[in-house]
C-alpha cells in the first residue's frame, strides 16, 4: 500500500481501493435512480440547486426525462467499469 500524501496533515486511513469503490457505488446508486426514477433524479438536482439559491426548471420535460435516463445509463456503465478496475488494480 502506498503512503497517503495527506498523512502528514491528517489521519488518512483509507486506501485508494476503498475510495474508488465508494465512488463507484455512489455512481451506481445515482445511475439506478436516474434510470428507474428520472423525475426523482431531476427533483433531487433541483433541490440541490435550490440550496445554492438557484432555481432550475426543464424547458422540455419529456426530453429532460429521456436525457436523464440516457445519462444515467452512461453513468452506470462508467461506474461499473470503475468498480471492476478498482477491484483488479489495487
Please list the pLDDT of the chain residue by residue as tens digits (90 residues).
556 665 555 555 677 888 899 999 999 999 999 999 999 999 999 999 999 999 999 899 999 999 999 999 999 999 999 999 988 876
Q: Considering the domain boundaries, does residue 9 fall inside one?
A: no
Residue labelled with grid coordinates 468498480: 83
Q: Considering the domain boundaries, does residue 78 fall inside one?
A: yes
Q: Say what the pTM is.
A: 0.76
Instruction: Give the per-residue pLDDT at 24.
Output: 94
Q: How many domains in the chain? A: 1
Q: Considering the domain boundaries, does residue 65 fall inside one?
A: yes
Q: Considering the domain boundaries, does residue 34 fall inside one?
A: yes
Domain of residue 49, residue span: 15-89
Residue labelled with grid coordinates 471492476: 84
Instruction: Give the per-residue pLDDT at 9.
Output: 55
Q: Considering the domain boundaries, does residue 51 fall inside one?
A: yes
Angstrom distance (rounded) from CA 17 to CA 66: 33
Amino acid at each position: 500500500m502506498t503512503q497517503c500524501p495527506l498523512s502528514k496533515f491528517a489521519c488518512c486511513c483509507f486506501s485508494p481501493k476503498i475510495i474508488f469503490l465508494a465512488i463507484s457505488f455512489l455512481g451506481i446508486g445515482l445511475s439506478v435512480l436516474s434510470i428507474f426514477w428520472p423525475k426523482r433524479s431531476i427533483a433531487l438536482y433541483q433541490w440541490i440547486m435550490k440550496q445554492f439559491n438557484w432555481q432550475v426548471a426543464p424547458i422540455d420535460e419529456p426530453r429532460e426525462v429521456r436525457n436523464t435516463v440516457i445519462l444515467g445509463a452512461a453513468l452506470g456503465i462508467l461506474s461499473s467499469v470503475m468498480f471492476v478496475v478498482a477491484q483488479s488494480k489495487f
